[in-house]
Amino acid sequence: MKRHLLKFVRAAIVAGLFASPVAAVTSSPDPTAPQRTLKAFSGEPELAALFRQWADEAERRRGEQRVRRSAAASTALAQGAPAAAPAAPAALAKEEAAATADSLTNVQHAGVDEGGIVKLHGNHLVILRRGRLFTVRVGDNELRSVAVVDAWGQGIDPGGAWYDEMLIAGDTVVVIGFSYARGGTEIGVFDISRAGRIAHRTTLHLRSNDYYSSRNYASRLIGSRLVIYSPHVLSPWGDPHAAFPALREWRPGASPADFRRIAPATRIYRSDEPLDPFAGVALHSVTICELAAPQVDCQSTAVLGPPGRVFHVSPRSVFVWTTQPRRGADFGRPASAVFRIPLDGSPPSALKTSGSPIDQFSFHEDAGGMLNVLLRANGQGDGMWAAERGGGELALLRVPLASFSDGREAAPAAAYRRLPKAAGNALQNRFVGPFLLYGGGSGWQAPPATKPAGLYAVRHADGRVYELPLPHAVDRIEALGSNALVVGSDGRDLQFSSVRLGRLPVTVDRYTRRDAAQGETRSHGFFYRPTGDDDGLLGLPIIGGGEAAGRQLRQASAAVLFLRNRGLSLSELGTLDGRPAAGERDDGCRASCVDWYGNSRPLFIGSRVFALLGYEIVEGRVGPQRIVETRRLDFAPAMQQVAP
């Protein structure tokens, strides 16, 4: 593995592929602005010419396949063996397809909201649960169900669709989902009134491949701009245009002819890196929809690159990291590229790189205009469960944002800093203040008995590495103001370790919850509310010790645990518990009947504290020492009542 790391960091020097960093342009008003940007296709003819090259190569390969089949058949006849039956058209098609191979949300950046399952609109909670939108009035000290509507539009068959994420801009509720039946991302637009009533306005269908990630979220909201990332895998065996970003307004009887391209050739960019469509090429698109407009419309900017991806949204840009797996002699070549797509519509820029980030938390833009990214040598992006798998050597990439260019430059070898490898399967990472923190845990699996583990703290400005021994795994890393919290299991108990990030990082305190494990792996499952410079309240859903966190897909957590932080000293306030029988009834679910994004959350609204546990909302009162349940609401369909 060490030999692989040396290749990962140094082999591109031998190949002569790394260039010196590009100096920032001093005349630019923005010191992070790239010196050059990517070049878009000049128009549809240039793009069509590229696709004709792909089609010609595909036809050549088909011819070679026919020759090989014919030769094999002749050999078999000469040997007296029965000839293989000609492949049926369906089998050939399958073979070709295989070759194409004030937020309630714990967000990464203030001002960049992330699609979630619960949001606040005025006096009402809006909850996305199992294909339905619910509103619950919490204003004026109430806790009362108001309305429930389907998360899809009238005339839409929800079969084969998943409605995962919700955002609210003004009086507009947006639900983001994916339809395997219709093939693409659905953007459901709803109006919400001050009284908490929800009415469907329209549903937009965005043509895309599946965006699902076990850690990341497909949508962000910056002001009134909805930002959606979606991949589009392009096949040389058919018409690549058929996979391009396109939009249609859903209506009964809608047809493919209703799609309107929203990424013209002049908004599609690429670097000088050769693209091999037979090894995998994707069009990585960033779609921005203005929700404040009378009629919601969307436009896309896209970059061509390998299919492996991780994307990160900052207040000013979307970063898309693309990765092409390399094998054999190609292992050490820059197999990746990171694209920087500004949200103001200006052209993207890029940098050739090696390795791949773990997830969106692997990125950090610091105040000095540097981009810091944690990489592993054999990562392949965060699509589906890719972020949960794989080991490999680690490195920290640190480059000036001004070194991004037209895609011909590569990050120099000196920009990669070797890091210790963490124990555990599922790597967790987070930038907090001047430090990168990372360590290994069990992810969605049942926590194994854990030997003493370690949290690594890297001061990213100078690369100094500190190891903080821990008696538990690292299953979650969160910010507590300018300090940090590490949560993990020791195989039986759930441990919370506070970390002071001063001149030297140091663990300060540890709280142990006996016979427990975290009930949500998603970042949104945790929330911290500061009550002072060094004080605050935190909440996290929990389940029984030794249980796999993957049960969040079908069962609500047993309880939400609340802790008090006082100067990084942690103490338990208690739990707000769910009722086991609440999850055993038939709710008539028609879509999204598995909770991919979890179902339990701690909620802090003003001075009030709640636990969302499936279809239950439990309210508690925080006293000097304990939290005490005051009331609960069951908002399940046809079973809505408040318990005293």
Burial of 51: CB neighbours in 10 Å, binned 0-12, 13-18, 19+: middle
Distance CA 442, CA 475 (A): 7
* C-alpha span between 378 and 449 (Å, rounded): 27
Q: What is the pLDDT of residue 345?
A: 84
Query: Tell me: the pLDDT tens digits for 424-477?
Result: 678 899 999 999 999 988 766 666 766 667 899 999 999 999 999 999 989 999
Q: Which two tokens stand for residue 272?
A: 């000088």
Side-chain-side CA neighbours of residue 563 (13 Å): 27
Which alpha helices (DSSP H) does 131-228 contain, by range?
none
Q: What is the pLDDT of residue 528?
A: 95
pLDDT > 70? residue 69: no
Query: Tokens for 317?
Result: 């840009």
User: Bigger pLDDT: 476 or 587?
Assistant: 476
- Are 549 and 443 in contact by the 8 Å Cβ rule? The answer is yes
Residues 6+ apart with CB under 8 A from 507: 455, 468, 470, 497, 498, 499, 500
Listed in sequence order, the residues at least 6 apart from 422 whose beta carbon sits closer than 8 Å to its beta carbon are 394, 438, 439, 440, 454, 456, 474
Core vs surface per residue 482-494: b (16+ CB within 10 A) or e: ebbbbbbbbbebb
Distance between alpha carbon 317 and the CA centroid of its chain, in Å? 16
Q: What angle do CA 438, 214, 99 make, to 5 degrees?
A: 115
| Alpha-carbon gap, residue 284 to 302, rounded angstroms | 5
- Alpha helix (H) residue ranges in 120-271: none
CA angle, corner 361, sides to 33 and 290, nearest 5? 60
**Consecutive H or E run containing 480:** strand 476-480
pLDDT for 12-62, tens place per residue?
333 332 233 333 333 446 778 887 888 888 888 888 888 888 877 777 776
Contact 265, 40 (CB under 8 A): yes
Nearest-angstrom CA–CA distance, 18 and 97:
36
* Rounded mean pLDDT, 547-571: 84
Instruction: Give the tens place of pLDDT for each residue, 318-347.
Output: 999 988 765 544 444 547 889 999 988 889
Beta strand residue intervals within 490-643, DSSP E: 494-501, 505-513, 516-518, 527-530, 535-544, 559-566, 569-577, 600-605, 608-613, 616-622, 627-636, 639-643
Choice among 104-108, 207-211, 561-565 with the minimum mean pLDDT: 207-211
How buried is residue 86: exposed, middle or buried, by Cβ count under 10 Å (0-12/13-18/19+)? exposed
Residue bearing the bigger pLDDT, 381 or 270: 270
Q: What is the pLDDT of residue 92?
A: 27
At residue 385 the predicted structure's pLDDT band, cuts being 50, 70 and 90, is low
What confidence score (pLDDT) does residue 581 get?
66
Signed CA dihedral, 445, 446, 448, 452: sign only: positive
Number of other CB atoms surrounding residue 39 within 10 Å = 13
Q: Cβ–Cβ contacts within 10 Å for residue 155, how many?
A: 11
Give the Cα separation of 350 and 285 in Å (integer): 15
For residue range 120-157, list pLDDT tens digits in order: 999 999 999 999 999 999 999 999 999 999 999 888 88
469-508 pLDDT per residue, tens: 999 989 999 999 999 999 998 888 999 999 999 999 999 9
Residue 191: band (very low, low, confident or very high) from pLDDT cuts 50, 70, 90:
very high
Task: State the Cα–Cα distance between residues 108 and 23, nearest whole angstrom.
Answer: 29
pLDDT of 99 > 70? The answer is no
* Radius of gyration (C-alpha) of the chain in whole angstroms: 26
Confidence of residue 644 (pLDDT cuts 50, 70, 90): very low
DSSP string, 220-232: EEETTEEEEEEEE
**Is pLDDT larger for residue 487 or for residue 10?**
487
CB 603 within 8 A of CB 104: yes
Token duo for residue 500: 């002071």
> Each residue of 208-251: pLDDT tens digit?
887 787 878 889 999 999 999 888 888 777 788 877 888 998 88
